[in-house]
């Protein structure tokens, strides 16, 4: 990096907030799933040119302008999650946004919060709940950036059923474009507050993101408003034995109820999901499939193995949970009776074991807060995991096909012994989005990041699954495909586009060219300008 | 200019119209947009027709103005600013698919609300509609305009209920948005069980860009729309007050707690215009009604519908009691059932024209706390110009599940009086400016207000011009609108 450029960045943020220390820089290449691009190590191959920690939009803008002037690339980093967060090439200035951590406003009547990039879901949720409101805490964890989720990445959640997917939960946005200009989306740009991100006229939210964001490759988002929703539970949901498998809620709320329905087959299971969606009774849905659940429940791998032996036969295969959160006693009673009617209609039964206090509490925390069960389940047995079907947004005709497909293909790969044996049943879901208008399911796969053959087995499994989906004319899950493509040095879009009836790449590339004329954004996960 | 013979070669002579009477009908609408006569009207009937017309227009540098709704039109967005050819999409009027299981319908631009509702009802579905749309209003047109509908709990986003669409850009390319783009053709997707419901592309969302573009970026040839389950039971209720704040508070909690489906607030003038069946009744209602009226409707669906209504009514009554507003089944001889029926059905003649002959709307979006103040601004501006408040209709629609308020002022007037029309025109501009100055957001800037709106947000204007250059580089689609 040119010393003049570095000096300018230093002048912008101050010497304490910029670094070229190799140890510091390497930390920004170390990411979950980095081993897919790192030649057998989780450290990605590209060390940043420098790391800067701006604290205001103006500082972000100034750094981006320096990058434009000196032919450097830049990449935004907030809480970081996955190989997408690491630089995709040399000469990248990483802007670590951790100093921009202010929760600026909670508007109770219009039900939104204005946040900076380093406000995490847990922080936002804690403040919102005190005002009787709540937000969508995503499966990646309540420790992830709310702004990054809404503007730049993806992230589905158990409570998407009642509060929707976060692509639609973002309102006004402040966006430093790749050329250093500031764009304020919607009402914000007209000085009319944060109430909407659409207009005037065509909505520039359509440039900002689709089902996925640009993963840091298309400018930097410095503030945004996020929708909040009614929360019928208490202002706090305190618990004890935190970060253990025996975490307990202190005083389980009376207007919350957890039920775990199970079914004889996947068709009835899906019918029940549809009925639950249309009845608009659920606050949250979903569960870990029994293969994954039993891998992760024990305090160590030995106990997990024992639990799997003991519990797998006991836990039904076609099971999920539904959390009811009511605003009144009559509402909760109605929700319970509707669910019972749905189970009668679909042949479902209640799995009573989950209603026992120990299971009930930890699953409730998972569904409300994004608790510790998934992280433990997916990381502790082998050291890492990767979801297949990551980004597979389904509708009623397609969810079951993808679940069947992924399970069958995965089981075959598990037999190689290179992936953790979850019987093919490592799924998280089903998630219901917008009261049943869409559904989501991903199949987590545990692999050993220290064993190259295990990494390869994961990539082969992901690729075979995606190919199978494409052949069946089902959507290709983008984030899964990114991993396959990046491991081979390819663009994910170049591997997806041949299956499409329109070449969307040309339009996305035109966006890149128009809004990033100097090709300054690190677009390894977005699209290259040529 | 595109030669008529070439257009005839695409759609056939009977679908290229250029009689003076026809051209006059497309040369103006009920807004104050200056009239301009198009050279002809063409009526395509397929994607291929639209593609061919765009190609011809590009070759001849001829403006194309897409029109999907029938008369009367109001916003000035389909009046040809620079002349050119009207592309009337009304022949493309097929309902291509209704799917109960996935709660979705696929419609062409010529399909209107009444036809679609009838088809949906047979399948046990409904489409949330704008407040009593005119009978000639296109469903696709309404969706592309981000017209809000009256069920805030199903108004998930300003883009609702649009899902996917097929579009021909001004650049000539065909594009299918969201999951309709693949893998596979639409037929292959449908064989695989997909119903074109996921509206987002991978890293962009072209639907959002098309919405609000007033036909300046592309011409849509079909769209899928999100439908909802038809209730098995309903119970509408009314609330009334002389305090708008009180009804806004009630609306906030009903929407927030998801109590009821349809919900909107009208002032006495709008309520009388919507519900009056005779002029005497309209005038009588204006005199008798409280200033503000709220309608909301409880509903039950497939499972335990009566029980659902029962608990919802109990909870809603508690909310109303806390706000201090009584609930009624009938108000000033008008039953809530009649209001619901009127609000959810297309109207003919259009309710905004029935009693005054003309109407100029001022729609915008506001934050919750801004609504009473903005109503005050409008009333002040009206008073300054001696515009009678008895001719000022006000409609407040909580949108996006309560995340914002759509406000719409309707200036009712007699179009045969040039003096009255001139006064309304003056008020329209002055009030719009005053409202913007006080925080109203004009998210859909129509014709004459566009410059005023975009002057407040130069960065968005520049960004939109980049998009225009991408999708319609020769500026053949509806030139002169928005900031293009």
Nearest to B42 by CA among B77, B59, B67, B20: B67
Cross-chain CB nearest to B204 (options A184, A196, A210): A210
Q: Domain limits of chain B? A: 4-90, 92-229, 233-343, 358-443
B155 at A interface, C-beta within 8 A? no
pLDDT category at A372 given cuts 50, 70, 90 is: low
pLDDT tens column, A478-507: 999 998 998 888 999 999 999 999 999 999
Contact A184 B460 (CB under 8 A): yes
Partner-chain contact A475 B158, CB within 8 Å: no
User: Cα(A55)–Cα(A116) distance, rounded to whole angstroms?
Assistant: 10
> Which residues of chain B have a CB within 8 Å of the CB of A201?
212-214, 444-445, 450, 464, 482-483
Cβ separation A209–B444 shorter than 8 A = no
B301 touches chain A (CB under 8 A): yes
* Contact by Cβ (8 Å): A380, B175: no
Class at the top of the CATH hierarchy for domain B92-229: alpha beta
Q: Using a CB-CB distance cutoff of 8 angstroms, which residues of chain A are in contact with residue B401?
A: 227, 229
For chain B positions 55-84, those within 8 Å of chain A (CB to CB) are none
- Tokens at B245, concatenated: 């704040």
For residue B87 the two structure tokens come to 């592309």
> Check: CATH 1.10.600.10 for B358-443?
no
Q: Is the pLDDT of residue A367 over 80?
A: yes
Largest CA distance in chain A: 72
Q: For position A371, what pLDDT does the model report?
A: 64
Residue in A109, A213, A334 nearest the CB of B307: A334
Residue A110's nearest CA partner among B252, B139, B100 is B252
Q: What gap in Å lies between CA B435 and CA B431, rounded to an integer?
A: 6
- Whether the Cβ atoms of residue A149 and residue A127 lie closer than 8 Å to each other: no
Q: Reduce the DSSP state of residue B406 to 3 states and report it.
A: strand
Q: Count the neighbouring beta carbons within 10 Å of the beta carbon of residue A152.
A: 28
The sign of the torsion formed by the CA atoms of A74, A78, A84, A90 equals positive
CB B208 within 8 A of CB A202: yes
What integer pLDDT is reported at residue A373 of this predicted model?
Answer: 63
User: What confidence tier does A379 reach under pLDDT thresholds 50, 70, 90?
Assistant: confident
Q: Over 80: is that where the pLDDT of A256 sits?
A: yes
> E strands of B206-250, at which residues?
218-226, 228-229, 233-241
Question: What per-residue confidence (pLDDT) applies to B142?
Answer: 98
pLDDT at A330 over 80: yes
Instruction: Say which of A184, A202, A203 has its CB closest to residue B459.
Output: A184
Q: What is the percentage of chain A residues whose pLDDT exceeds 70?
A: 99
CB contact under 8 A, A499 and B209: no
- Supply A8's token pair: 């300018």
Instruction: Point out the residue among B203, B307, B456 whose CB comes nearest to the CB of A213.
Output: B203
Domain B4-90: give its CATH code. Answer: 3.30.43.10
Q: Read off the DSSP letter of residue B242.
A: S
List chain A residues with CB under 8 Å of B443: 186-187, 196, 198-200
pLDDT at position B65: 98
Q: How many CB pairs under 8 A join A and B?
A: 297
**pLDDT, chain A, mean:** 93
Q: How many CB atoms lie within 10 A of CB A423?
A: 18
Does B208 contact A at CB distance below 8 Å? yes
Angle at B23 between CA B20 and CA B24, to 5 degrees: 85
- Strand B125-126 with B228-229, pairing: antiparallel
Nearest to A422, CA basis, from A262, A307, A295, A514: A295
Q: Is the ipTM of this complex over 0.85?
A: yes
CA–CA separation, A91 and A102 (whole Å): 30
Cβ neighbours of residue A217 under 8 Å, at least 6 residues apart? Answer: A75, A88, A521, A522, A523, A524, A525, A526, A527
Which residue of A205, A278, A496 is in closest CB contact with B229?
Answer: A278
Average pLDDT over residues A284-300: 81
pLDDT (average), residues A418-438: 91
User: What's the CATH fold of domain B233-343?
Assistant: Alpha-Beta Plaits (3.30.70)
A327 vs B contacts (CB less than 8 Å): 257, 315
Nearest residue in A to B456, CA atom: A190
Contact (CB<8Å) B210/A202: yes
Residue A22 confidence class, pLDDT cut points 50, 70, 90: very high
B69: nearest Cα among B86, B47, B46, B49: B86
Domains defined for chain A, CATH in brackets: 3-96 (3.30.43.10), 103-230 (3.30.465.10), 252-381 (3.40.462.10), 387-426+440-476 (no CATH)
Q: Coil, helix or strand for B166? A: strand
- Please name the member of A171, A330, A345 whose beta carbon is closest to the beta carbon of B314: A330
Below-70 pLDDT ranges, chain B: none
Token output for B336: 């809530």
CB interface of B with A, residues 212-251, below 8 Å: 212-214, 217, 226, 229
Give chain A positions within 8 Å (CB) of B209.
202-204, 206-207
């Amino acid at each position: 990096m040119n010393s003049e450029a570095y000096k300018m960045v230093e002048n912008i943020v101050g010497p304490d907030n910029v670094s070229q220390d190799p140890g510091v820089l390497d930390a920004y290449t170390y990411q979950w799933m980095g081993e897919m691009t790192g030649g057998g190590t989780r450290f990605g191959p590209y060390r940043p040119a420098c790391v800067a920690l701006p604290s205001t939009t103006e500082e972000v803008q100034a750094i981006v302008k320096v990058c434009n002037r000196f032919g450097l690339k830049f990449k935004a980093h907030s809480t970081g999650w996955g190989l997408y967060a690491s630089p995709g090439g040399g000469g990248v200035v990483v802007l670590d946004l951790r100093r921009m951590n202010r929760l600026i406003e909670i508007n109770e009547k219009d039900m939104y919060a204005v946040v900076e990039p380093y406000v995490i879901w847990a922080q936002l949720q804690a403040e919102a709940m005190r005002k009787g409101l709540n937000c969508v805490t995503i499966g990646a964890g309540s420790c992830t950036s709310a702004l990054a989720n809404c503007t730049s990445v993806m992230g589905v959640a158990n409570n998407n059923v009642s509060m929707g997917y976060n692509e639609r939960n973002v309102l006004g946005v402040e966006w430093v474009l790749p050329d250093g200009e500031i764009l304020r989306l919607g009402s914000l740009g007209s000085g009319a507050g944060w109430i909407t991100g659409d207009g005037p006229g065509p909505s520039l939210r359509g440039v900002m993101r689709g089902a996925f964001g640009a993963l840091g490759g298309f400018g930097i988002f410095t503030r945004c408003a996020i929708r909040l929703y009614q929360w019928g539970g208490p202002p706090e949901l305190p618990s004890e034995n935190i970060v253990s498998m025996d975490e307990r809620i202190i005083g389980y709320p009376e207007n919350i109820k957890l039920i775990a329905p199970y079914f004889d087959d996947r068709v009835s299971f899906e019918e029940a999901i549809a009925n639950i969606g249309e009845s608009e009774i659920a606050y949250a849905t979903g569960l870990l499939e029994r293969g994954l659940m039993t891998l992760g429940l024990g305090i160590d791998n030995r106990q997990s193995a024992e639990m799997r032996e003991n519990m797998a036969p006991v836990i039904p295969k076609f099971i999920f949970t539904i959390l009811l959160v009511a605003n009144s006693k009559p509402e909760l009673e109605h929700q319970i009776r509707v669910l019972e009617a749905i189970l009668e209609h679909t042949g479902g039964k209640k799995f009573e074991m989950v209603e026992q206090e120990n299971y009930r509490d930890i699953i409730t925390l998972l569904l409300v807060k994004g608790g510790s069960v998934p992280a433990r389940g997916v990381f502790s047995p082998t050291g890492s995991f990767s979801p297949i079907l990551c980004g597979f947004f389904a509708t009623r005709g397609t969810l079951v096909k993808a679940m069947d497909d992924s399970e069958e293909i995965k089981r075959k790969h598990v037999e190689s012994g290179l992936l953790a044996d979850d019987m093919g049943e490592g799924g998280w879901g089903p998630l219901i989005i917008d009261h049943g208008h869409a559904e989501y399911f991903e199949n987590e796969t545990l692999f050993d990041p220290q064993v190259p053959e295990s990494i390869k087995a994961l990539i082969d499994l992901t690729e075979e699954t995606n190919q199978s989906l494409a052949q069946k004319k089902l959507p290709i899950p983008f984030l899964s495909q990114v991993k396959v493509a990046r491991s081979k040095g390819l663009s994910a879009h170049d591997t997806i586009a041949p299956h499409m009836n329109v070449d969307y790449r040309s339009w996305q590339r035109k966006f890149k060219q128009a809004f990033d004329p100097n090709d300054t954004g690190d677009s390894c996960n977005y699209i290259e300008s040529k | 200019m595109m030669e008529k013979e070439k257009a005839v070669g695409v759609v056939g002579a009977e679908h290229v119209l250029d009689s003076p009477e026809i051209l006059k009908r497309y040369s103006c609408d009920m807004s104050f947009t200056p009239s301009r006569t198009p050279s002809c009207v063409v009526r395509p009937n397929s994607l291929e027709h639209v593609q061919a017309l765009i190609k011809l227009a590009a070759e001849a540098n001829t403006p194309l103005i897409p029109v999907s709704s029938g008369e009367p039109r109001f916003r000035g967005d389909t009046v040809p600013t620079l002349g050119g050819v009207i592309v009337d999409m009304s022949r493309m009027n097929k309902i291509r698919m209704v799917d109960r299981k996935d709660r979705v319908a696929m419609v062409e631009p010529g399909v209107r609300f009444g036809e679609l509702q009838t088809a949906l009802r047979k399948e046990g579905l409904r489409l949330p509609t704008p407040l009593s749309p005119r009978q000639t209003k296109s469903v696709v047109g309404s969706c592309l305009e981000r017209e809000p509908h009256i069920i805030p709990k199903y108004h998930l986003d300003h883009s609702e209920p649009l899902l996917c669409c097929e579009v021909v850009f001004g650049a000539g390319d065909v594009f299918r948005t969201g999951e309709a783009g693949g893998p596979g053709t639409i037929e292959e997707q449908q064989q695989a069980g997909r119903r074109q419901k996921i509206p987002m592309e991978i890293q962009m969302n072209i639907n959002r860009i098309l919405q609000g573009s007033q036909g300046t970026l592309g011409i849509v040839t079909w769209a899928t729309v999100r439908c909802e389950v038809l209730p098995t039971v309903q119970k509408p209720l009314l609330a009334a007050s002389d305090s708008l704040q009180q009804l806004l508070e009630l609306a906030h909690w009903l929407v927030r707690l998801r109590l009821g489906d349809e919900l909107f607030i009208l002032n006495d003038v709008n309520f009388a215009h919507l519900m009056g069946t005779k002029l005497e009744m309209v005038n009588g209602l204006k005199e008798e009604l409280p200033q503000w009226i709220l309608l909301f409707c409880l509903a039950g669906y497939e499972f335990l519908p009566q029980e659902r209504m029962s608990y919802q009514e109990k909870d809603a009554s508690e909310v109303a009691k806390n706000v201090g507003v009584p609930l009624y089944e009938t108000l000033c001889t008008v039953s809530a059932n009649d209001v619901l029926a009127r609000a959810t059905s297309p109207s003919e003649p259009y309710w905004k024209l029935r009693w005054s002959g003309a109407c100029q709307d001022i729609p915008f979006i506001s934050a919750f706390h801004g609504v009473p103040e903005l109503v005050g601004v409008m009333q002040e501006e009206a008073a300054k110009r001696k515009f009678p408040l008895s001719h000022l209709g006000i409609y407040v629609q909580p949108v996006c599940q309560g995340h914002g308020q759509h406000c719409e002022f309707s200036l009712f007037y007699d179009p045969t009086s040039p003096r009255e029309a001139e006064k309304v025109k003056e008020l329209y501009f002055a009030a719009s400016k005053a409202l913007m100055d006080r925080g109203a957001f004009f998210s859909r800037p129509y014709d004459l207000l566009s410059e005023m709106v975009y002057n407040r947000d130069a960065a968005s204007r520049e960004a939109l011009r980049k998009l225009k250059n991408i999708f319609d580089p020769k500026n053949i689609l509806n030139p002169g609108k928005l900031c293009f």
